[in-house]
């Protein structure tokens, strides 16, 4: 194969530019039509078998393409639009979505209608989470496809003898799907023979009959496994801790005489493959971390991986890095220097906070030491835990609205909150009223999650994902029948800075200086502040905002998060599931913000509500340390389902060798002080230009001027131009 | 009196620091980027570039009028009540001058103690010239020292020997500005001669304190002084680092908004010039240069 840099251009956009060979199967449209017909007629068919057969049909008929420029040569035509992030595929649109809607609307009609209302109005997004999975990579890699199939067959035999019909049904569906996978592999092999990809053909042949034996094969196996999982509407949201999973293969490659450069070349192809697949929200992998004794797991491969990633200058796949006190200082520094250079797709998570978070669920470190992060940044213990990390996102800012209107949603006019009286004699009474409103929304999300959990297998049986756990294969149960050691589910609550700033404004402007009555304030919000612009500006200019280490807002934030912890975190529900809570928004704060009425913090209707643990945009005015102080006051370890802190800095604030050392100290201090996770944004000239055109969106961007930092958007145009020019020269 | 407290400073001494900017300075360096530090009095700044002529401030204060879409600001009428700051949607006004006690300032500064301790950082007294307010400086330093906070004094050196003696027991490092050796050049650049400054530096050195020298580099003003400065610094033993600070023309709008006459030079140094200056300093003085 030619060197990577000669081939890169043929790989980066290969999914967008794919042209599938019609002789290899049916077009995506034909597949969709056929699968839709099957779904239509599925009626009373036993669901697992039906889905397995639909899946087998799909694998048998989908079209293939071979790209001679990459060792990860095969692509499948599953009808995905790759113009942006990869869109939904045929199985998803023809089968899963229809089935989920059918099941929920038939089985839980009232709750379903309420859930849909919540979704439309931006109150909450409640989901059935088949989408965030951590395959038990350490179980399947040593087995390979054929080994899993053998285990499933052996287990089926045992359960048949024992008369466990449920197990037999489940295992049958595993067997059908794995036979389909092996059939598809043979098809790929045959087809690949007409191309100049001998190593690929050989590896495919090997993987059809045996587990991966080389570094290349384990990478190819991972790539294929993710496809085969995803095609059936289950989705592996991490490649796992690849520095330890692939380490033995790396070692034997070296022992076998491979050079480091050859190994690096392999990783270049591997990473760029994921860049090209454009999976929604990107494809993560994990490196580093500590074991239960605090030993560092960083190894030479972790370094090599980070070096290759850095050199490629890509954002996808994205990196999760586990920090702990004994982490190899060089790799930590390296990661931060990458972030400093503007690579914002590295997320660093603090082991200690995660371990403590698991302890709050009663899970000891012996087990939690093997957590990985999936999707954006949620910890899940690989092989032992199903966490349903995205069951619901709750817009906590809506509860402010309902607090003031007595339960009525301002923009839609519907009563979606708790119907209550709207007068509160004191601020404390009002605060309690807020918590009641918030609880009301959270309680519904939990109730919904509880009710739908019975129908998981009916909605979307997950035999491929389940097959990655010894437990599921041995017991003959789907993972969504709660067959792992730890079965949990998770909610997320976002918009809290908007809430805190709003409560501060109410406390000061209504209860303290009496500038406006509660009733009039409610009216002002209904009118989107029209006629109250002076007051709105005063509120916006007021200093008591979360994100500055100030007592009043930070104290309100603490009261809310402590309430959530006490009332919900770790609480046990059906099937022994414990509730995990998170304070992150992903990007829902944007979409939900659009349909959220004005709030008392001066926010206008439709503007974003606050994201993750961030301050309201533009309101963190005390610099990064002040910001961190606010965040550190939150009991973030209780929010295991992620409590991520995003920061934005200009490279000049941490320039030079000293700047890097200080940056390392800053993040270390944050973690050692209890911080949960960080992702950084160190901006360059493009961002500065964007900030110049859209100052509101970049209101917190700080620029190092001489001996101090200034807010970029508050500088004169001439000064901004100066910095843009300067950063272009860097 | 101080005019600002800035956190997460990484350019003013070791580790992560908070810098307290004292108000008032005996020099008038033509290139100064902190004109709000000149006067010892409270000042108001109004930045016309930010104003959108909404009229909010004019309806509550006589200091501002809007006529023909021009905002006329008469700062002599200002009583520093701060109301315009609360009401302006664009943040066009700022007040420079904070009269809080040393205890109050210490409390605010100590807020970042974990960051100082974790990074080997501390607090930097800057300005303006902190040692112009010797007693206040010492009071603040004493409180911080009780908590074992590292203290750096960023000084222009144009202060009494007594002031230096008073702060010495609390100072861990001096960040010391040297602008010129030729007294005439110094006078032309800053308005004052430099004997006192050079003498004070020798005195501090004799006391064995860590010193970081800062040399602002301004083409055509002090660019001809580099060799002489280097020769002089050769004799100062306790220098840990010499930093050359290239002149930037950042502060124009600040001058304008304070109504202060702007004498800032036009010419900005090239990268090569700065490299050369660093090289010269390194070669002649024998110290570490950055
Ligand atoms: S309040 Fe601010 S924006 Fe409005 S006129 Fe005054 S200075 Fe200008
Ligand atoms: S501080 Fe008070 S007196 Fe001074 S300009 Fe502003 S409103 Fe007028």
Report whether A312 contacts A345 (CB < 8 A): no
Residues B271 and B146 in one domain: yes
Contact A625 B88 (CB under 8 A): no
Query: Model-level pTM?
Result: 0.92
**Cβ distance A142 to A20 under 8 Å?**
no
Q: What is the pLDDT of residues B31-50, one digit of tens each?
A: 999 999 999 999 999 999 88
Question: Which atom of ligand 1 is nearest to B64's Cα?
Answer: 6
The verdict on residue B290 lying in a domain is no
- pLDDT computed for residue A728 by the predictor: 57
Smallest CA-to-CA distance from A541 within B66, B94, B177, B42 is with: B94
Q: Answer whether B4 touches A (CB < 8 Å).
A: yes
Please report the number of interchain residue pairs, chain A to chain B, with beta-carbon separation below 8 angstroms.
Answer: 102
Looking at the fold, whether B90 and B102 belong to one and the same domain comes out as no
Residue A703 has what pLDDT? 60
B118–A672 C-beta distance less than 8 A:
yes
Q: Is the CB of B84 under 6 A from ligand 2?
A: yes
ipTM value for the complex? 0.91
Question: Which pLDDT score, from 0 to 100, does residue A722 have?
Answer: 65
B105 in any annotated domain: yes
- Indicate if ligand 2 lies below 6 Å from the C-beta of B81: yes
Number of domains in chain B: 2
B66 lies in the same domain as B104: no
CATH of A392-682, one of 3.40.50.2020, 3.40.630.10, 3.40.630.30, 3.20.70.20: 3.20.70.20
> Same domain, yes or no, for B249 and B272?
yes
Could you tell me if B117 and B55 lie in one domain? Answer: no
* Alpha-carbon torsion (A587, A588, A589, A594), positive or negative: positive
Closest-approach residue (CA) in chain A for B87: A538
pLDDT at position B221: 93
Do residue B247 and residue B199 come from a single domain? yes
Of B55, B80, B96, which residue is a domain's last?
B96
Mean pLDDT by 10 residues, chain A (730 residues): 91 92 96 96 88 97 97 96 86 93 94 94 89 94 98 98 97 98 98 97 98 98 96 92 98 97 98 92 94 96 97 88 98 94 84 98 97 93 95 96 97 96 96 98 96 92 96 96 95 96 98 97 98 96 95 98 97 95 83 92 93 86 92 96 86 89 97 92 80 80 52 77 61
Which one of B18, B33, B253 has the shortest CB-CB distance to A706? B33
pLDDT digits (tens, 9 = 90+) for A139-149: 999 999 999 99
Domain hosting residue B262, numbered range:
2-40+97-285
User: Is B250 in CB contact (< 8 Å) with chain A?
Assistant: yes
**What distance in Å separates residue B67's CA from the closest CA in chain A?**
21
pLDDT of A679 reads 86
Hey, whose CA ends up nearest to atom 2 of ligand 1?
Answer: B88
B160 and B277 together in one domain: yes
Q: Measure the CA–CA gap between B197 and B195, rounded to whole angstroms.
A: 5
Does residue B149 share a domain with residue B108? Answer: yes
pLDDT at A688: 84
Confidence of residue B64 (pLDDT cuts 50, 70, 90): very high
For residue A96, the model assigns a pLDDT of 92
Is residue B122, in this structure, part of any structural domain at all?
Answer: yes
Atom of ligand 1 nearest to the CA of B93: 7
Q: Dihedral sign, CA of B19, B22, B27, B33?
A: positive
Judgement on whether residues B226 and B253 belong to the same structural domain of the protein? yes
Task: Give the CATH number of the domain where residue B64 resides.
Answer: 3.30.70.20
**Domain presence at residue B150:** yes
For B158-171, b/e burial (b = at least 16 CB within 10 A) is bbeeebbebbeebb
Residues B230 and B267 in one domain: yes
**CA pair distance A51, A55, nearest whole angstrom:** 6
Same domain for B265 and B249: yes
The angle formed by the CA atoms of residues A262, A266 and A272, to the nearest 5 degrees, is 140
Nearest CB partner across the interface for B86, out of A538, A668, A714: A538
The answer to whether position B184 is within a domain reads yes
B168 within a domain of the structure (yes/no)? yes
Which are the contacts of B213, defined by CB distance < 8 A and separation ≥ 6?
Answer: B176, B177, B178, B233, B236, B239, B241, B242, B243, B287
What is the structure's pLDDT at A107? 95
B71 domain residue, yes or no: yes
Question: Would residue B20 count as lying in a domain?
Answer: yes
* Model pLDDT for residues A110-144, shown as the tens digit of each residue: 999 999 999 999 999 998 888 899 999 999 999 99
Same domain for B200 and B278, yes or no, is: yes
Cβ atoms of residues B7 and A623 within 8 Å: yes
Q: Are B71 and B256 in contact (CB under 8 A)?
A: no
Residue B25 maps to which CATH number? 3.20.20.70
């Amino acid at each position: 194969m030619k060197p990577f840099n000669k081939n890169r251009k043929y790989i980066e956009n290969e999914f967008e530019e794919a042209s599938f060979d019609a002789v290899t199967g049916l077009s995506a449209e034909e597949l969709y039509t056929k699968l839709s017909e099957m779904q239509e007629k599925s009626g009373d068919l036993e669901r697992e078998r039906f889905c397995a057969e639909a899946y087998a049909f799909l694998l048998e008929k989908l079209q293939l393409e071979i790209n001679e420029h990459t060792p990860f040569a095969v692509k499948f035509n599953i009808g995905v639009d790759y113009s942006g992030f990869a869109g939904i595929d045929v199985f998803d649109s023809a089968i899963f979505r229809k089935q989920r809607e059918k099941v929920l609307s038939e089985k839980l009609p009232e709750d379903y209608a309420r859930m849909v209302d919540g979704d439309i109005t931006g109150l909450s997004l409640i989901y059935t989470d088949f989408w965030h999975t951590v395959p038990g990579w350490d179980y399947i890699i040593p087995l390979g496809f054929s080994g899993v199939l053998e285990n499933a067959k052996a287990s089926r035999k045992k359960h048949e003898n024992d008369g466990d019909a449920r197990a037999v049904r489940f295992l049958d569906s595993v067997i059908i799907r794995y036979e389909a996978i092996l059939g598809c592999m043979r098809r790929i092999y045959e087809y690949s023979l007409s191309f100049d990809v001998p190593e690929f053909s050989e590896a495919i042949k090997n993987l059809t009959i045996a587990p991966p034996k080389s570094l290349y094969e384990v990478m190819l196996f991972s790539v294929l496994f993710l496809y085969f999982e995803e095609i059936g509407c289950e989705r592996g949201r991490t490649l796992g801790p690849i520095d330890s999973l692939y380490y033995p293969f790396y070692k034997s490659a070296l022992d076998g005489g491979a050079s480091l450069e050859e190994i690096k070349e392999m990783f270049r192809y591997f990473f760029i493959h994921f860049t090209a697949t454009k999976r929604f929200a990107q494809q993560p992998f994990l490196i580093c971390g500590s074991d239960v004794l605090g030993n560092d797991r960083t190894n030479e491969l972790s370094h090599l991986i980070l070096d290759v990633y850095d050199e490629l200058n890509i954002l996808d796949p994205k990196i999760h890095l586990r920090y702990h006190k004994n982490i190899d200082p060089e790799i930590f520094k390296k990661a931060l220097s990458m972030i400093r250079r503007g690579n914002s797709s590295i997320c660093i998570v603090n082991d200690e906070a995660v371990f403590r978070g698991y302890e709050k669920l009663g899970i000891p470190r012996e087990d939690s030491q093997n957590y990985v992060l999936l999707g954006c940044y949620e910890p899940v213990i690989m092989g032992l835990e199903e966490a349903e990390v995205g069951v619901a996102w709750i817009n906590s800012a809506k509860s402010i609205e309902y607090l003031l209107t007595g339960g009525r949603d301002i923009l839609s006019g519907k009563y979606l909150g708790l119907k209550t009286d709207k007068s509160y004699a004191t601020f404390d009474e009002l605060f309690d009223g807020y918590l009641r409103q918030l609880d009301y929304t959270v309680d519904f999300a939990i109730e919904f999650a509880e009710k739908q959990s019975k129908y998981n297998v009916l909605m979307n049986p997950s035999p491929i994902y389940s097959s990655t756990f010894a437990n599921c294969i041995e017991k003959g149960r789907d993972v969504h029948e709660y067959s792992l050691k730890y079965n949990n589910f998770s909610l997320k609550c976002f918009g809290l800075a908007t809430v805190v700033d709003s409560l501060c404004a109410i406390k000061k402007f209504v209860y303290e200086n009496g500038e406006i009555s509660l009733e009039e304030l409610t009216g002002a919000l209904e009118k989107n502040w029209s006629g109250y612009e002076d007051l709105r500006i005063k509120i916006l200019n007021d200093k008591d905002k979360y994100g500055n280490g100030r007592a009043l807002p930070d104290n309100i934030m603490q009261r809310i998060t402590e309430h959530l912890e006490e009332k919900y975190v770790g609480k046990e529900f059906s099937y022994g599931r414990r509730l995990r809570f998170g304070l992150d928004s992903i990007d829902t704060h944007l979409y939900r913000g659009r349909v959220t009425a004005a709030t008392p913090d001066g926010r206008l209707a439709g503007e974003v509500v606050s994201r993750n643990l961030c301050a309201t945009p533009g309101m963190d005015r005390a610099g990064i340390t002040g910001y961190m102080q606010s965040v550190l006051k939150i009991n973030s370890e209780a929010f295991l389902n992620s409590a991520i802190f995003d920061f934005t800095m200009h490279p000049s604030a941490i320039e030079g060798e000293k700047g890097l050392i200080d940056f390392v100290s800053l993040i270390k201090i944050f973690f050692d002080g209890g911080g949960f996770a960080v992702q950084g944004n160190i901006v360059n000239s493009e961002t500065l230009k964007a900030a110049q055109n859209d100052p509101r969106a970049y209101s917190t961007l700080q620029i190092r001027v001489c001996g101090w930092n200034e807010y970029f958007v508050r500088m004169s145009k001439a000064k901004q131009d100066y910095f843009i020019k300067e950063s272009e020269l860097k | 009196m101080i005019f600002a407290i800035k956190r997460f400073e990484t350019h003013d001494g070791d580790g992560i620091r908070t810098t307290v900017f004292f108000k008032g300075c005996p020099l008038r360096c033509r290139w100064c980027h902190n004109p709000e530090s000149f006067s010892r009095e409270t000042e108001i700044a109004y930045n016309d570039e930010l104003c959108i002529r909404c009229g909010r401030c004019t309806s509550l204060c006589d200091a501002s009028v809007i006529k023909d879409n021009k905002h006329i600001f008469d700062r002599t009428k200002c009583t520093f009540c701060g109301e315009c700051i609360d009401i302006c949607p664009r943040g066009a006004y700022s007040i420079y001058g904070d009269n809080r006690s040393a205890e109050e300032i210490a409390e605010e500064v100590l807020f970042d103690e974990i960051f100082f301790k974790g990074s080997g950082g501390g607090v930097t007294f800057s300005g303006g010239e902190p040692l112009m307010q010797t007693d206040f400086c010492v009071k603040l330093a004493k409180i911080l020292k009780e908590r074992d906070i590292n203290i750096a004094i960023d000084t222009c050196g144009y202060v009494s020997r007594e002031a230096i003696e008073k702060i010495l027991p609390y100072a861990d490092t001096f960040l010391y500005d040297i602008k010129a050796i030729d007294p005439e050049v110094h006078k032309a650049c800053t308005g004052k001669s430099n004997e006192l400054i050079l003498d004070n530096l020798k005195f501090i050195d004799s006391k064995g304190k860590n010193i970081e020298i800062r040399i602002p580099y301004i083409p055509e003003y002090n660019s001809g002084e580099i060799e002489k400065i280097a020769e002089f610094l050769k004799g100062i033993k306790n220098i840990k680092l010499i930093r050359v600070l290239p002149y930037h023309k950042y502060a124009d709008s600040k001058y304008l908004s304070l109504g202060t006459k702007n004498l800032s030079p036009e010419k900005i140094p090239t990268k090569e010039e700065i490299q050369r200056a660093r090289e010269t300093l390194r070669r002649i003085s024998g110290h570490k240069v950055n």
